[in-house]
Amino acid sequence: MCFTTLDPTTNSGLFSQSGSPNVMPSPHHHDHIELNYLECGAMTYLLGGHQFTIEAGRLLAFWAAVPHQVIWIAPGTRLRWLYIPLRLVLEWDLPATFIEPALSGVPLIDRRRGSATSDLPLFQQWHVDLGHPRPESNRIVLLEVEARLRRLALGSPFTPVTDATEPADTTGGTRLRQAKQMALFIARHHTEALTVEQIAGVVNLHPNYAMKIFREQLNTSVMDHLTRHRVAHAQRLLLTTDLPVLDIALEAGFGSSSRFYAAFKRFCDRSPGQYRRQLRPVIS
């Protein structure tokens, strides 16, 4: 796998990456809009409440603050990534057909297969340009990425239907399937007052055994995964509503403001108020 990037002070934090992806041992998250372009092969994502397979020639966009994980990759798959800081995307004032579903944790895929012929050269050029610390090259990349996202929004991107089947080469057997079932349940019900018993009940296991399987297979705890989803939900509400912080904490599934503040600080490295003050002016 190869990487190119520039100093964030000169390239606004854009990050380009290309190569052969790996199955991810655990879900992860970062506060970027992530673009994936699959050159060849196929791979299956677990993202929010969706499990879906993306095929070669498709462009995928999603808000990476939502926990996501690649769980299967076809042999010979090659992928190109571009990470765009959320602040930049908000500054572009993109159409609601992109921003609203993206900030709701919905993965977006370009409907038009014909765009594959133009996307690969674009990603290749961005990768090259981000490897040279020239302000003008950086400006061109920013303009082209904004234009590509606008075109994606214009084309009415679709949300993949959750695939309940297992790819033929998926490994891990029953335990992995059980962990994924619990992860999907958490993603879909994270705003509710969930208990470990409820989550374990999805796969008909004793809570202690269910938690053990979840950690073994996804390399994170049930409660951390649940909290990460709730924090991402709160981030969206802080950016898109005027709700008081306490209301947002309750809406996102936190039982108290103290738990919410501690979790938000842990995952976002700033308070909810600071997060809103830093990013809301961009939207306004």
Greatest CA separation for the chain? 59
Residues 51 and 131 in one domain: yes
Residue 201 forms part of a structural domain: yes
Tell me: pLDDT of 4 over 50: no
pLDDT tens readout for residues 90-112: 889 888 889 888 888 889 988 77
249 inside domain: yes
**Residue 116, pLDDT score:** 66
Q: Is residue 105 part of a domain?
A: yes
CATH assignment at residue 206 = 1.10.10.60
Query: Tens of pLDDT along 211-237?
Result: 999 998 888 899 999 999 999 999 999
Six-digit token string for 271: 């308070």
* Same domain? 139 vs 218: no
Question: 236 and 208 in one domain?
Answer: yes
- List b or e across 67-80, with b for residues whose CB sees 16 or more CB atoms inside 10 angstroms: bbbbbbbbeebebb
25 backbone dihedrals φ, ψ, rounded to 5°: -70, -20
- Domain count within the chain: 2
Whether 131 shows a pLDDT value over 80: the answer reads yes
Q: Do 86 and 73 meet the contact criterion of CB atoms below 8 Å apart?
A: no
What's the domain range around 39? Answer: 2-154
Residue 188 lies in a domain: yes
pLDDT recorded at residue 38: 93
pLDDT band at 169 (very low <50, low <70, confident <90, very high): very low
Q: Do 197 and 145 fall into the same domain? A: no
- The predicted structure's pLDDT at residue 172: 55
Q: How confident is the model at residue 278 (pLDDT cuts 50, 70, 90)?
A: confident
pLDDT the model gives residue 235: 93
What is this structure's pTM? 0.79
Q: What is the 3-state secondary structure (H, E, C) of 95-120?
A: CHHHHHHHHCCCCEECCCHHHHHHHH
Whether residue 57 is found in the same domain as residue 91? yes
Cβ pair 11, 34 in contact under 8 A? no
- Residue 65 included in any domain: yes
157 or 67, which is more confident?
Answer: 67
* C-alpha neighbours within 13 Å on the C-beta side of residue 107: 23
pLDDT in tens, 141-159: 999 999 999 999 887 777 7
Together in a domain, 140 and 238:
no
Q: Where are the alpha helices (DSSP H) in the chain?
A: 8-11, 86-91, 96-103, 116-129, 135-154, 173-189, 196-201, 207-218, 222-240, 245-251, 257-268, 272-283
Residue 145 shares a structural domain with residue 6: yes
- Give the residue from 122, 154, 186 where a domain finishes: 154
Say whether pLDDT at 167 is over 70. Answer: no
Both tokens of residue 120? 């690969």
Task: Give yes or no: residues 18 and 128 share one domain.
Answer: yes
The Cα–Cα gap between 47 and 162 comes to 10
Does 122 lie in the same domain as 87? yes
Mean pLDDT (the chain) is 86
Domain contains 167? no
Q: Are 230 and 272 in contact (CB under 8 A)?
A: no
- Angle of CA points 27, 59, 143, to nearest 5°: 105
Residue 166 belongs to some domain of the structure: no
Angle at 23 between CA 4 and CA 214, to 5 degrees: 130
Tokens of 90: 């908000």
> How buried is residue 172: exposed, middle or buried, by Cβ count under 10 Å (0-12/13-18/19+)?
middle
Whether 61 and 13 map to the same domain: the answer is: yes
Other CB atoms within a 10 A radius of the CB of residue 264 amount to: 27
- 125: CATH: 2.60.120.280
Q: Is the residue at 54 inside a domain? A: yes
Residues 147 and 178 in one domain: no
Instruction: Judge if 24 and 141 occupy the same domain.
Output: yes
